[in-house]
Amino acid sequence: MLDIKQIRENPQLVQERLSGRGDKYNIQPILDFDRQQRELEVTRSQLQARSNEIADSIPKKIKTGSDPKGAEILALRTEGKSIKATLSELEPQEKELKVKIQELLLTLPNLPSDSTPIGKNEQENVEIRRWGDEYLPQNPNIIDHWEIGEKLGILNVERAVKVAQSRFVTLIGAGALLERALIQFMLDKQTQAGYVEVSPPILVNTESLTATGQLPKFAEESFKCADDDLWLIPTAEVPLTNFYRGEILRQEDLPIYYCAYTPCFRREAGSYGRDMRGLIRLHQFNKIELVKFVHPSTSFEELEKLVGNAEAILQALQLPYRVLELCTGDLGFSSAKTYDLEVWLPSSGKYREISSCSNCVDFQARRGDIRFKESGKKGTQFVHTLNGSGLAVGRTMAAILENYQQPDGTVRIPEALQRYFGREVL
């Protein structure tokens, strides 16, 4: 959530930054409600002060000889009653304005960082680097990952549709083992990098989704339980970030690094074409998520480290990839700066997203009221939160099935994964 003080003091800058995101965001209603609320607050404070003054003066005047039933005391009491009546009207008005401001603030995305490239859409993202050209497959007859998966008997879509609906898959035998091997491999790599593994709830409440920015804007893309205030998580970022919602940490506690394996659930509305098949866009998928709580002064440095942690998985698996810096028009709702990692999928001749690493600065912490206190200093500050995939498991499997595909129809297992999988070839 944006700071209302920042909007109030720098409205033009905030509006310009929001306009760079591409959608039409208008902060004027917030400014209008904020002005009305502050005017009411001033009026209410003045009236409350006068009411207190009257309450104090009446007994003093009576004590010094004023007639308790005289005109002077009667006038003061009449004025006091009038002020209380006015206050009883102003207080709900002010409360209503505060609610309106809060509701509007929750609809605004984060402001892009100063270093985020300006652009309209994904076509204007900036490629930072590529890695692994020497590992690009030489097999000219690579088929789609879902096709080789079905031929190997490790992936079945029809049975998943039977028990659920489209956009689900079933992994069988070596397919299930390969996914489990990848999960363990990724968790081992990230815990070795300093992350603490967590197994969080995969059902969360509305307040949790609101704190991380999925609600209210993305309600239609989420799965909600009909009879409870519980939602299936779109990513482990949600429960991990909300661990400290409403809490004050100590500066000595920072930085905090968490990683988690969870299933993730998304409606993936609007996707089409090749994405409707295979492991790229599913309603249910598995992912290793990385989340950081850090001091504001180090958050952009921590973002670079986070990207490196995600890259380490692809490098260990020797999967070619590239790193993109997202432009303002392609940033996620809660992010101030984002890098995407895209892995090479030879069947389509394209790089496809496999990890998105973001610095949300104080945006989520402000929504979730996550603060820290520095020793010897008064007051508290909001922490900065970061998150990223380390990695999306299904997409990693898809990349292996394609990049390691052999002319004879087998699939080699990356060397780093062989001790987890137990054999060298599918």
Task: Out of 17, 21, 266, 352, pick the active-site residue.
Answer: 266
356 catalytic per annotation = yes
Beta carbons within 8 Å of 79's beta carbon, 6+ residues apart: 50, 54
Q: Is 351 helix (H, G, I), strand (E, B) or coil?
A: strand
375 catalytic per annotation = no
Task: Out of 179, 356, 358, 402, pick the active-site residue.
Answer: 356
- The most distant pair of C-alpha atoms in the chain lies apart, rounded to whole Å, by 110
Task: Out of 94, 299, 395, 402, pick the active-site residue.
Answer: 395
129 catalytic per annotation = no
**DSSP notation for 274-313:** GGGSTTSS-SEEEEEEEEEEE-GGGHHHHHHHHHHHHHHH
Question: What are the angstrom distances between the C-alpha of 378 and each of 149, 167, 372?
Answer: 59, 52, 11
Secondary structure in 3-state letters for 129-184? EEECHHHCCCCCCCCCHHHHHHHCCCEECHHHHHHCCCCCCEECCHHHHHHHHHHH
Q: What are phi and psi of 29, to 5 degrees?
A: -60, -35
Residue 317 burial by Cβ neighbours in a 10 Å radius (0-12, 13-18, 19+): buried
Residues of the binding site for ATP: 266-268, 353-356
352's tokens: 């496809």
Task: Out of 41, 124, 221, 353, pick the active-site residue.
Answer: 353
Task: Out of 281, 352, 367, 371, pick the active-site residue.
Answer: 281
Residues of the binding site: 235-237, 266-268, 289, 353-356, 387, 389
Which residue do the tokens 């035998």 mark?
A: 173
152's tokens: 């190997």
Residues of the binding site for L-serine: 235-237, 266, 289, 387, 389
Residues taking part in catalysis: 266, 281, 353, 356, 395
